[in-house]
Amino acid sequence: MFHIVLVEPEIPPNTGNVIRLAANTGAHLHLVHPLGFRLDDTRLRRAGLDYHEWARVAEHPSLVDCLRQVRPRRAWALSTHGSVGYHQVRYAPGDALVFGCETGGLRRELTRFSPGRRLRLPMRPESRSMNLGNSVSVVLYEALRQQDFPELE
């Protein structure tokens, strides 16, 4: 099982999509405050449909508190400033995949991760960023693929 950590997510439909992803893969979702919406937001519910009841979602006041409580095997930061491709590392159950907010990424939190733990998704040089939900899906499914998709088939 993997942990998905969203630090200060801002857009309800993105988080709703990640809730659906967590429900369908068995990943644990952790939301780090402040959130840019309320968890009962209609747009969040619409995007997550009825998956919210099947997902394991926890809220945390800060990234430090989240990582202290979760105690992941390792924590990987995903950022456009990452130096290692997400596909170049070996993931293991218990790892946490940490993503920043849609408009600013991980900003100040990135310095908590050593350069070898800062991952990036390859994209065209003139591109600014990827959609949060898509990025989480790509990285989580790579981690699951490396484990031969345990309990998913």
Binding residues for S-adenosyl-L-methionine: 78, 100, 121, 129
**Residue 34 preceded by cis peptide, ω within 30:** yes
Closest CA to 91 of 144, 47, 42: 144
Q: Tabulate helix, strand, coil % of the chain (nearest 5).
A: 40, 20, 40
Q: Which residues are annotated as a binding site?
A: 78, 100, 121, 129
Q: Are 54 and 86 in contact (CB under 8 A)?
A: no
* β-bridge partners, 97: 4, 76
Rounded Cα distance, 153 and 135, in Å: 22
Q: Are 72 and 38 in contact (CB under 8 A)?
A: no
